[in-house]
Amino acid sequence: QSALTQPASVSGSPGQSITISCAGTSTDVDNYNYVSWYQQHPGKAPKLMIYDVSNRPSGVSNRFSGSKSGSTASLTISGLQAEDEAHYYCSSYTTTSTLFGGGTKVTVL
Partner 1 sequence: QVQLQESGPGLVKPSETLSLTCTVSGGSISSYYWSWIRQPPGKGLEWIGQIYYSGRTNYNPSLKRRVTMSVDTSKNQFSLKLSSVTAADTAVYYCARGGVVAENWGQGTLVTVSS
**Residue from 5, 21, 27, 47 binding partner 1 (CB under 8 A):** 47
**Is residue 44 classed exposed, middle or buried when 0-12, 13-18 and 19+ CB atoms within 10 A define those classes?**
exposed
> Are the C-beta atoms of residues 83 and 64 closer than 8 Å to each other?
no
Nearest approach in angstroms of CB 100 to partner 1 is 4
By C-alpha distance, which of 14, 34, 13, 16 is closest to 24?
A: 34
**Residue from 51, 56, 76, 85 binding partner 1 (CB under 8 A):** 51
Span from 16-24, 60-68, 75-83, 98-106 in contact with partner 1 (CB under 8 A): 98-106
Residue 1 is a binding residue for partner 1 (CB under 8 A): yes
From CA 30, how far away is CA 60, in angstroms rounded?
Answer: 25
Interface residue list for partner 1 (CB under 8 A): 1, 3, 34, 36, 38, 45-48, 51-52, 57, 89, 91, 93, 96-103
